[in-house]
Structure 1
Amino acid sequence: MKRFTAHRKSAALTGLAIVSVALLTACGTTSGKSEGTASSEAPTKLGANEKSVSILAWPGYVEDGSNDPAVDWVSAFEDETGCKVNSKTYGTSDEAFNLMKTGEYDVVAASGDASLRLVAAGDVAPVNTDLIPNYAGVYDFLKMQSWNSVDGVAYGIPHGYGANLLMYNTDVFTPAPASWDVVFDKSGQYKGKVTAYDSPIYIADAAMYLMYHQPDLGIKNPYALDETQLAAAVDLLKGQRENIGEYWSDYLKSIQAFETGDTVVGTTWQVIRNSLAEGTPAEVVLPKEGVTGWSDTWMIASQAKSPNCAYAWLNYIASPKANAQATEYFGEAPSNQAACDFTTDPNQCATYHAGDEEYAAQIWYWSTPIEKCLDGRTDVKCTDYAAWTTAWQEIKG
């Protein structure tokens, strides 16, 4: 098994500073611009490479051998294109959002909780996928989705994706749980040994559960909640709070809690299950209600100083071999359908369900909650991420 080097969502959404309501409202409008208005037009052709490119990404996404001589997919890109890579890692999506405002980066790897904010703020540009030959090899079910496009305009290309699964102690649960009810309505049976992901975006997990069990609420998309729907999700999470032993953001702590038995059930990632010490009585399941998850997107800065090298990077990292290297090292499914031919572990793609459309269809990928309802409703305003952040603080107390 490849080690999970990134703090990933171990820090991905925790420690988020409260973003101002004005800013998140701007995800619906920005200085009078309607959402999706391009801050610059996508190019129709490319020019000569600029000799360098500055990349902002999650740890483990841009490896050049300096962390581990055996892990390097950047050098081949530099040799192939003549574009020297300067990279910086970030620990949270909020940090990435703020760093992109400096104008110092040409490319960013953004998760769904940040991508729409970047579009609305005018910090990233539309992408002409015709100029990215390897885009054709990306799974169709990852293309032109709510977290990587706006109004039919692509704002990046998919990188890797994964699911937020339910992990359970096999000594405690026989048979395996089939529903998220073990962490919600039935969580009192495991009081003090339930875990949940420590982030406002976890509200979507509760909304997804309610969407299945309380259809009268009218929830169609767990990231598109009006005030009544958000209140219902908050109430569910407040009830869960009484039985939570520990909220987790550091995946290492999650591993330790399951290994010691301090935690017996809760949200996890496949890579966490794979990292447990041999003999730990724990397995994962995708419950009947579905799961939330992530699909990260490579995006180009609207004011990129090296746009040609930026396009070269997007094309390269989407290539089968590079995509396989990066996603296997990180611990997620690749986006390129030919990447599975290049993984070191022959079981990598099977483990992460790469290309399994039926499996992927059960994942509600992280998307930034905005006032413009992502479910298409126009008769109400949906709650934005600022409201979710406030609600999360209220839930945790």
Structure 2
Amino acid sequence: MLRTTSTLRAVTATITALLTTAALTSCGTTAASGPEPTQEQTSLGKTEGSVSILAWPGYVEDGSNDPTVDWVSDFETKTGCTVTSKTYGTSDEAINLMKTGDYDVVAASGDATLRLIAGGEVTPVNTDLIPSYAGIFDFLKNQAWNSVDGKAYGVPHGYGANLLMYNTDVVTPPPTSWSVVFDDASQYAGKVTAYDSPIYIADAALYLMTHKPELGIKNPYALDDTQLAAAVDLLKAQRPNVGEYWSDYLKEIQSFTSGDSVVGTTWQVIQNSLAKEGVKTAVVLPEEGATGWSDTWMISSKAKSPNCSYAWLDWIASPEVNAKATAYFGEAPSSQEACTFRDDCEAFHAGDAEYASKIWYWTTPVAKCVDGRTDVTCTDYAKWTAAWQEIKG
């Protein structure tokens, strides 16, 4: 179920906001600090009649934006839980809103989840109370961005990789490595494109994991000062060859259509759109792997409607609903069964565990190294943000 250009335009703010991580605060928080977590529920009771949801645009659709896009109304009818929702534009905004205690449920990206956990804003979830959880791909469960000390803090929503896209007429032979945008970028000077966010530093770190193993990088989100400096140097060397840093993916579509860009980082949904328009581009998950994202539905530790909250987590993870929501957004669903309700799962490599194992899902860089090291302090997102400003000048 590929989205039309008009649909892409309608949700541009959604995906742009999803990946925008500028101006983050409180980035020095570690996943193990903060208040003691609220105990997970052991049983479900009668639903409370309403649930308040905080989410990215496009995640809680009730037909008011598009009459054909609605997975909320049936939930309300089935559960008796009336949904009120609010959208947000950045992870920082979501964290601040969650601190108010006004929301029962939040859809959080990997640059927010650990901070929500550390701040005691969300509670562990009892997955035994969420029947749909059983069908979710194993490679999305109990990961560094959605669990702590073996406790699940939410339900995975969907996922995607940041791929390498290239113009098949210009970039030959077909690239298999990120070297085409890093060490070898000068051959396409001025026509390289890169994602415009401090989180892109992780892409450089991922490349260095393979090409400079002496740096000892084991996780692109766990960089000590020396490792961060190496990634920054690589990005500074790349900078003269970059024609455009993009955050609005419609602009990247336009740039590859016009030929202003011929190689750079992208998303599968962009390639799908270009292919539909006959633009000669292709994508590859390079030999070094790629960064990517996986969002998590989490329950507030102050939830006024915990039973309706659990009902929502089960609903949004149910195959047909998850298929609708992730297709509308442009990402792989969270379960194989959801693919029976979509016709594009193959394009998104949904369920391909080997493919998914090559994706390093966004995780907030924090002072406590997420790679397990205890003999050094890692750089947090505040340092990454300062470094990104330095890189771009």
Question: Measured at CA, do residues 285 and 316 of structure 1 come closer, stay the same or move farther in structure 2, by a change above 3 Å?
Answer: same
1:375 maps onto 2:378 in alignment: no
Residue 150 (structure 1) aligns with: 148
- CA distance in structure 1 between the aligned counterparts of 2:33 and 2:375, rounded to whole angstroms: 21
* Deviation readout 1:173-226 (Å, 9 max, x if unpaired): 122111101111111111111111111111100000000101010001101111
CA RMSD of aligned residues (A): 1.3
Residue identity in the other structure for 2:232: V
Residue 199 (structure 1) aligns with: 197
TM alignment of 1:1-397, pairs within 5 A: 1-2=2-3, 3-4=7-8, 5-14=11-20, 16-19=22-25, 23-28=26-31, 30=33, 33=35, 37-38=36-37, 40-276=38-274, 278-343=277-342, 346=343, 348-397=344-393
- CA distance in structure 2 between the aligned counterparts of 1:148 and 1:88, rounded to whole angstroms: 22
Gapped regions of structure 2 (runs ≥ 5): none
- CA distance in structure 2 between the aligned counterparts of 1:95 and 1:264, rounded to whole angstroms: 34
Gapped regions of structure 1 (runs ≥ 5): none
- CA distance in structure 2 between the aligned counterparts of 1:18 and 1:80, rounded to whole angstroms: 38
Question: Measured at CA, do residues 317 and 127 of structure 1 come closer, stay the same or move farther in structure 2, by a change above 3 Å?
Answer: same
In the TM superposition, residue 116 of structure 1 has moved relative to its aligned partner by: 0.5
- CA distance in structure 2 between the aligned counterparts of 1:342 and 1:79, rounded to whole angstroms: 21
- CA distance in structure 2 between the aligned counterparts of 1:74 and 1:290, rounded to whole angstroms: 36
SS in 2 for 1:62: coil
- CA distance in structure 2 between the aligned counterparts of 1:224 and 1:295, rounded to whole angstroms: 18
Please, which moves more after superposition, 135-144 or 187-196? 187-196
- CA distance in structure 1 between the aligned counterparts of 2:259 and 2:96, rounded to whole angstroms: 38
- CA distance in structure 2 between the aligned counterparts of 1:92 and 1:243, rounded to whole angstroms: 29
In the TM superposition, residue 24 of structure 1 has moved relative to its aligned partner by: 2.3
Residue identity in the other structure for 1:64: D
Residue identity in the other structure for 2:327: E
- CA distance in structure 1 between the aligned counterparts of 2:132 and 2:83, rounded to whole angstroms: 20
Question: Measured at CA, do residues 18 and 89 of structure 1 come closer, stay the same or move farther in structure 2, by a change above 3 Å?
Answer: closer
* Deviation readout 1:297-356 (Å, 9 max, x if unpaired): 00011111111111100011111111111111111111022111122xx2x111111100
SS in 2 for 1:222: coil
Question: Measured at CA, do residues 378 and 181 of structure 1 come closer, stay the same or move farther in structure 2, by a change above 3 Å?
Answer: same
In the TM superposition, residue 13 of structure 1 has moved relative to its aligned partner by: 4.0
**Runs of 4+ in structure 1 displaced over 6 angstroms?**
none
In the TM superposition, residue 29 of structure 1 has moved relative to its aligned partner by: 5.7
SS in 1 for 2:324: helix
* Deviation readout 1:227-254 (Å, 9 max, x if unpaired): 1101100100111111111111111111
Aligned length in residues: 386
Question: Measured at CA, do residues 15 and 285 of structure 1 come closer, stay the same or move farther in structure 2, by a change above 3 Å?
Answer: closer
- CA distance in structure 2 between the aligned counterparts of 1:67 and 1:297, rounded to whole angstroms: 23
- CA distance in structure 2 between the aligned counterparts of 1:75 and 1:13, rounded to whole angstroms: 28
- CA distance in structure 2 between the aligned counterparts of 1:138 and 1:13, rounded to whole angstroms: 23
In the TM superposition, residue 7 of structure 1 has moved relative to its aligned partner by: 2.5
Residue identity in the other structure for 2:264: G
Question: Measured at CA, do residues 76 and 6 of structure 1 come closer, stay the same or move farther in structure 2, by a change above 3 Å?
Answer: farther
Identical counterparts, % of pairs: 71
* Deviation readout 1:55-80 (Å, 9 max, x if unpaired): 11111111111111111111111011
- Contact 2:167/2:262 (<8 A) preserved: yes
TM-score, normalised to structure 1, is 0.94
In the TM superposition, residue 28 of structure 1 has moved relative to its aligned partner by: 4.9
- Contact 2:21/2:91 (<8 A) preserved: no
- CA distance in structure 1 between the aligned counterparts of 2:106 and 2:246, rounded to whole angstroms: 26
SS in 2 for 1:24: coil
- CA distance in structure 1 between the aligned counterparts of 2:365 and 2:328, rounded to whole angstroms: 30
- Contact 1:7/1:251 (<8 A) preserved: no
